[in-house]
Amino acid sequence: MNPARGVKFPQQAEREAPAIIAGDDFAKLLNEVEEPYKTMVELMAATGLRIGELLAVRWRAVDMEVGTLAVRESVYEGKFQRPKTSKSRRTIPLGPHAIASLKEHRDRSTRKSDDDLVFPNKSGEPLRESKLLERVLQPAAERAGLGRVTWHQFRHIHSSLLNDLRVPVKIAQEQLGHASIQTTLNIYTHVVDPSHRAAIEQLERQLFPTVPKSQEADAASESENTEESGTPEAPAAASERRREVVRPERD
């Protein structure tokens, strides 16, 4: 006989879910974050990278001429590891704003060799995401008048905007590095083609309204508009929605 049978345990209080950060709230947060952390937050929202992927990026993985970033490593609490899944190893396009931010960050950096991390600590080693959250991101969010924040929220901003902009699910899967397309569908070909690049540049224009378009993206956008003429207007972007409390999935 199990002596614990029938024993009722007190119900645990629900933990406050982080609110979606969008529109004015995102701008307020950026105003409270100093460099290089501001560039980190911008890149996460503009690319959908996981925090571990961002902290593992080396300069050799960034091609500012072509405008791509190759995800080949990840970091967890300062330790290098393989990317989460095989699909996490991917090459994604960078929009004009992301490229400009990275160039400015590189100009400020003292470690610029190909093997150097883009966002290292003072010793050149990987930063720890938990310390950054505790010492940088959460205090900035409190100063901005926001609630509890997580690194994953910026990836969620990206995936939500991809969905609002009606980006094809296959492109969203490649951008986010999901192992299964079903994961992408639940929240929402390896070559970076014009339609993929146009999708990311369109997303950047929602996050950073003053960003110019590339000629390649213009051509893809015009082609898409021609094909979809007469279709209903896309839903309002996440930047125009009110903040809402959700429990974003870990992906």
**pLDDT for res 19:** 58
Question: 176-185 pLDDT, tens per residue?
Answer: 888 888 887 7
Has residue 191 got a pLDDT over 50? Answer: no
- 92 Cβ neighbours under 8 A, 6+ residues apart: 47, 48, 68, 69, 71, 174, 175, 192, 200
Asked if the 24-240 domain carries CATH number 3.40.50.2000, the reply is: no
Question: 132-184 pLDDT, tens per residue?
Answer: 999 999 999 999 999 889 998 888 888 888 888 888 888 888 888 888 888 87
Q: Which pLDDT band holds residue 73 (cuts at 50, 70, 90)?
A: very high
Question: What residue type is assigned to position 6 of the chain?
Answer: G
**pLDDT for res 226:** 47
What does 2-35 look like in DSSP terms, one character per residue?
A: -TTTTPPPPPPPPPPPPBP--THHHHHHHHH--T
Place of tokens 């021609």: 226
Question: CA 20, CA 244: separation in Å to the nearest integer?
Answer: 6
Has residue 216 got a pLDDT over 70? Answer: no
**pLDDT for res 63:** 97
**pLDDT for res 160:** 82
Where exactly are the structural domains of the chain? 24-240
